[in-house]
Structure 1
């Protein structure tokens, strides 16, 4: 009978992901991020359900509200911000407009662009949700120090972009394998 080798092969070779000659910390991180991501989606969906929206619609209206503090918000800006397709944003913001929660108007200089704003009814809905949102978000990040929070904020965009590239790379490998 064959016995298993004592050393488990690495699942990553990037040097920064190897601690003390092992990928154990990397696997611990991934195995922690997966359930956290699932819980974040569940919380987002819960926020949406409390105001009779889907989780994605909730994210859109909250993001439009936040982004509008910096200026006008277009469909493409919202799509980039949420890492979603412009087509999906167009469809879902159309539903939010029908609900009277946002307005969509043609951009003053480029009529091809649509500008998004939250209506008074949308603001009212978001404000009603604030106490629950604050409570749940405080629980989500309880015990995280300011410096830890800043580190998370500083790397998340890179991780999302890397995730996009990794998913595309994996799709190509799968297509090549299925082609053979």
Structure 2
């Protein structure tokens, strides 16, 4: 057995369990810092839409790393809240082009301080260099295992 492995009898030796716990903690802090107007997934979709205006629901879901049925539901909720508009694409009536509304842009702008607090708070137990290293390693872990996801992340325009 390699020196990095054990019998994994302690649940906290399982990286997946620790990642799940980290996600639980992150979501809890998200609501503390960002309020309850958006869920973390709604925030991610709206934030990505701001960077990719006019994209369709399928592509937005792909760059956010969520499945298309969840993406459609999230877009419908954001539309109900008046934060995005969905319009039929003339050459493909099954797809919807998405644009963020002025209200959506204002909300994202209002959430910037909360997002900054969330990031600082979540990474606070680590020193500055450790924070950079953690983000680098976490990004590498996610990117290297992307294809193992049920909804692999795709780069914008890689369709």
Shift of the 87–140 alpha-carbon distance from structure 1 to 2, 3 Å rule, reads same
**Could you tell me which residue of structure 1 aligns to residue 59 of structure 2?**
77
RMSD: 3.0
What TM-score results when the alignment is normalised by the length of structure 2?
0.71
Is 1:19–2:3 an aligned residue pair? Answer: yes
Shift of the 58–148 alpha-carbon distance from structure 1 to 2, 3 Å rule, reads closer
Listed one character per residue, the Cα deviations across residues 64-117 of structure 1 (whole Å, up to 9, x for unaligned) are 123x1xx64211112223332322222221221122110112235433321212
Is 1:58–2:40 an aligned residue pair? Answer: no
Shift of the 160–42 alpha-carbon distance from structure 1 to 2, 3 Å rule, reads farther
**Could you tell me which residue of structure 2 aligns to residue 156 of structure 1?**
142
In structure 1, C-alpha distance between the alignment counterparts of 2:67 and 2:17, rounded to whole Å: 27
In structure 2, C-alpha distance between the alignment counterparts of 1:155 and 1:21, rounded to whole Å: 18
The number of equivalent residue pairs is 145
119-128 or 27-36, larger mean C-alpha shift: 27-36
**Could you tell me which residue of structure 2 aligns to residue 136 of structure 1?**
118
Please, which runs of 5 or more residues in structure 1 have no aligned partner? 1-12, 166-180
Please, which runs of 5 or more residues in structure 2 have no aligned partner? 152-159
Deviation at 1:47, TM superposition (A): 5.7
In structure 1, C-alpha distance between the alignment counterparts of 2:73 and 2:5, rounded to whole Å: 48
In structure 2, C-alpha distance between the alignment counterparts of 1:96 and 1:61, rounded to whole Å: 8
In structure 2, C-alpha distance between the alignment counterparts of 1:53 and 1:21, rounded to whole Å: 40
Q: Kindly name which structure, 1 or 2, has the bigger radius of gyration based on alpha carbons.
A: 1
What TM-score results when the alignment is normalised by the length of structure 1?
0.64
Q: Look up the SS of the partner of 1:32 in the other structure.
A: helix
